[in-house]
A and B are shown apart, each in its own frame.
Chain A
Amino acid sequence: MEVDRIDLLLERYLHLLHEYTTLREQLSTLQTGMYQNIARANFAAERGMRFGQDFYDERMQASRKLAITPAGGNDDDNNQEHIPVPVFAIAVAGSTEPEVSEKGAATASTTTDDGIRDEEGGKEEEEETREPSPNKKERRNDDPLRWFGLLTPMPLRQAQAQSIQAVEQVIPKLVSVNAQMAQVEIEVRRARKKRAKAEAAAIKQEQGVGAGAEITA
């Protein structure tokens, strides 16, 4: 029955692989768009200004936070040893923690983290206008887009929106799928080992029976 189990595992693995390649394509598309938009913004910029590291704010804080939760193993039926496969998710640091803003600005500034590129912010702004919160003003100032001046060009905003999408949606899924794939790989190897052992035992038994037959003959 080990063979069936290996087949099942491999089938699951191929589904995960498909998901992985699809996500990879999404990420590539987003990143291509992002780079094009940054190039466009730089092309149209005044007096040779370049949107880059020179404008980074040294006081920058993370505005996206990562949350890792162990899923209850995989839903595989006859899986005896459940090893929790981590699931990765990204949340906007400020909006998910309203209690932080109530505790005070000081705590808010230490707990807000960010995993965000320099070209992100347009989307954040939209989110803020949709749901106004007490720390609205603080977060607005944290927007990395502000590093490049008040009137940031549209392509730069678009690039930011694209990289937010990559960070919030594609990247956590990619690493989660990767973790699941790694888990299935372990299970496949285990099942193969078991099968090899069973085969070896069967051969031994056969040989034993054969030898026994010879002796009696």
Chain B
Amino acid sequence: MASHADYKDRQFLAVIGDEVMSRTPPDSQKNFLVVDNKTETSAIEAAFESFTTQRKDIGIVLINQHIADKIRHRIDTYTSAFPTILEIPSKEHPYDPEKDSVLRRVRRLFGE
């Protein structure tokens, strides 16, 4: 449970999302990535890597579901307790329970 030890320092939310979802950074480090259709998948991956692995002050990473789809393999293989990842809908992409990683876990538990 080493990952539980550092929860106290995790005071920030990070966001990977489209424009209206953006949030604000602590000090000089940005804790958001604004994604539009020109954003490379590698940039999204880099931000995800930074928020989840490198930075120790992020507690929740909010990511638009359609953007999470672009790095689905990363999201699905992510297992750390902190930061926790929450996929949220965006303006043009309503919430899709089929893609929700939590509901996918539910199905797996019930043997589907």
Contacts and interface: CB of A to CB of B under 8 A. Distances in A.
Contact of B109 (A67, A167, A185): A185
Contacts of B21: 117
Interface bin, chain A: 35 or more
Interface string B6-25: 01101111010001111111
A115 interface: yes
A119 B7 contact: no
Interface string A105-119: 000001001111111
Interface string A58-100: 0011111111111000000000000110101010000000000
Interface of A: 13, 17, 20, 24, 27-28, 31, 34-35, 38, 52-53, 56, 60-70, 83-84, 86, 88, 90, 110, 113-119, 144, 167, 171-172, 174-175, 178-179, 181-182, 185, 188-189
20 contacts: A24-B95, A34-B20, A35-B20, A53-B19, A53-B34, A60-B25, A61-B24, A61-B25, A61-B27, A62-B12, A66-B10, A66-B13, A70-B7, A84-B4, A110-B27, A113-B24, A115-B13, A119-B20, A171-B86, A175-B84
